[in-house]
């Protein structure tokens, strides 16, 4: 297909999309209940801002983007991933999902808690529970330290083994590369 035909097809598609957007905007204005002049003006401003944002996205869109492998039809605007809002198989981000659920601004927060505070041991004697908690934390720390040492020593051994075989010109065993 020639470039001129592609441009005409894109132009007609964009024209059709713009007309649909104008109709939707007009319907939104008609569905606004009778309110004060200020509220109507604010709604009109929001609508114009949204339309301007859409136009800016259309202008800045990369026309030479590779075709998304998830799209089944050719009518969608050019995009290369499902992250694009233009994609029919759009995947929403965690942020978009939270906004659609909560519908307000939100903030993710994390509280740090030590194992000692999050561990609960049942029993009547408070001092005994605290002592048991501390012994469990101590055991966990010992196991973690042991595992860290094993991992470091394993890495050192594999590096030595690979370098030794490489320097001698021997082939490496495939067992090294298996998980």
Same domain, 56 and 1: yes
Determine phi and psi for 136, rounding to 5 degrees.
Answer: -65, -45
* Both structure tokens of 84: 């694009």
Round to whole Å and give the CA distance between 44 and 52.
Answer: 12
Same domain, 54 and 91: no
Same domain, 138 and 83: no
Give the number of domains in the chain. Answer: 3
Same domain, 144 and 122: yes
Number of neighbours of residue 79 by Cβ within 10 angstroms: 20
Total-model pTM: 0.36
Domain boundary pick from 21, 44, 60: 60
pLDDT along the chain (179 residues), means of 10: 56 73 73 69 87 76 71 70 72 77 74 85 87 93 96 91 85 74
Same domain, 27 and 75: no
Same domain, 42 and 55: yes
pLDDT at 2: 52
Residue 70 belongs to domain spanning: 64-109
Same domain, 167 and 119: yes
pLDDT at 171: 81
pLDDT at 142: 96
pLDDT at 35: 61
């Amino acid at each position: 297909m020639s470039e001129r035909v592609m441009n005409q097809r894109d132009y007609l598609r964009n024209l059709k999309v713009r007309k649909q957007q104008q109709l939707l905007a007009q319907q939104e204005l008609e569905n606004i209940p009778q309110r004060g002049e200020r509220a109507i003006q604010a709604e009109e401003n929001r609508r114009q801002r949204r339309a301007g944002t859409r136009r800016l996205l259309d202008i800045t869109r990369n026309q030479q983007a590779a075709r998304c492998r998830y799209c089944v039809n050719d009518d969608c605007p050019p995009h290369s991933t499902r992250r694009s809002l233009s994609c029919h198989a759009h995947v929403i981000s965690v942020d978009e999902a939270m906004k659609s659920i909560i519908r307000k601004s939100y903030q993710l927060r994390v509280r740090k808690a030590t194992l000692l505070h999050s561990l609960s041991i049942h029993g009547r004697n408070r001092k005994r529970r605290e002592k048991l908690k501390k012994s469990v934390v101590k055991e966990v720390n010992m196991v973690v330290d042991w595992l860290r040492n094993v991992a470091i020593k394993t890495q050192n051994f594999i590096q030595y083994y690979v370098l030794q075989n490489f320097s001698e010109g021997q082939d490496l065993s495939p067992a090294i590369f298996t998980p």
